[in-house]
């Protein structure tokens, strides 16, 4: 997977262009602009605050909600006269809708990279292979014992000093 910065920039640019082109027709409702602007704000927030895991999670949640919102908007605000401009705007809104599951996948991966792995949420084990395998957290667990290299028969790299057998403080 490319870097999260490049992924978020691509998501932002693609949805920005498709949202602007969708609004050229003028046949879609104002709410279409509002929830897409909120989504773009969350992606921009994710891009600017690289350590924050709330921004990609909120972007993912809103993006999944936007799938339902897009379907409802396209069903209720379908233009009665399909001129060339209306066709173009509705087609771009439809392409934006088709791009949302892919965007959700990438936002999930960004969220997982930033927050660490929260497990597979009860999905069957075959989904780990589809979704790219179990994810590692970028942080090292200091409570875990260092692993030894069994092929070379070497000692662990991070050996700790043994604890003293007698108490440090005596009264």
Per-residue pLDDT at 100? 94
DSSP-derived letter for residue 28 is S
Cα–Cα distance measured from residue 69 to residue 51, given in angstroms and rounded to the nearest whole number: 29
Structure confidence at residue 161 as a pLDDT band (50, 70, 90): low
Q: Which residue has the higher pLDDT, 53 or 154?
A: 53
Q: Which residue has the higher pLDDT, 51 or 45?
A: 45
Contact of 26 with 93, CB cutoff 8 Å: no
Structure confidence at residue 13 as a pLDDT band (50, 70, 90): very high
pLDDT at 45 over 80: yes
What secondary structure does DSSP assign to 94-143, as a single string? HHHHHHHHHHHHHHHHHHHHHH-----TT--THHHHHTTSPPPPSS--TT
Please give the structure tokens belonging to residue 149.
Answer: 């290299």
pLDDT at 154 over 80: no
List pLDDT tens digits, range 57-112.
999 999 999 999 999 998 988 878 878 888 898 899 999 999 999 999 999 988 88
Contact of 56 with 107, CB cutoff 8 Å: yes
Asked whether the CA dihedral 57, 132, 123, 114 is positive or negative, the reply is negative
Least confident window among 15-24, 111-120, 130-139: 130-139
Per-residue pLDDT at 52? 83
Least Cα distance to 146 among 162, 135, 160 occurs for 160
Q: Which residue has the higher pLDDT, 147 or 103?
A: 103
pLDDT (mean) for 24-32: 86
- Mean pLDDT score of the chain, rounded to an integer? 79
Kindly report the CA angle at 138 between 137 and 140, in degrees rounded to 5?
Answer: 85
Structure confidence at residue 44 as a pLDDT band (50, 70, 90): very high
Please give the structure tokens belonging to residue 132.
Answer: 């790219």
DSSP-derived letter for residue 64 is H
Per-residue pLDDT at 122? 45
């Amino acid at each position: 997977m490319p870097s999260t910065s490049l992924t978020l920039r691509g998501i932002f640019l693609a949805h920005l262009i498709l949202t602007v082109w969708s609004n050229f027709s003028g046949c879609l409702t104002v709410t279409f602009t509002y929830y897409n602007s909120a989504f773009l704000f969350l992606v921009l927030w994710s891009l600017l605050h690289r350590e924050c895991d709330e921004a990609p999670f909120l972007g993912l949640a809103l993006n999944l909600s936007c799938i339902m919102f897009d379907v409802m908007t396209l069903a209720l605000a379908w233009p009665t006269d399909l001129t060339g401009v209306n066709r173009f705007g509705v087609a771009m809104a439809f392409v934006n809708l088709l791009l949302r599951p892919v965007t959700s996948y990438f936002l999930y991966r960004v969220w997982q990279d930033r927050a660490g792995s929260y497990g597979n949420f009860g999905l069957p084990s075959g989904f780990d292979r589809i979704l790219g395998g179990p994810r590692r957290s970028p942080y090292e667990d200091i409570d875990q014992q260092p692993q030894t290299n069994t092929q070379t028969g070497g000692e662990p790299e991070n050996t700790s000093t043994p604890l003293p057998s007698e108490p440090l403080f005596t009264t």
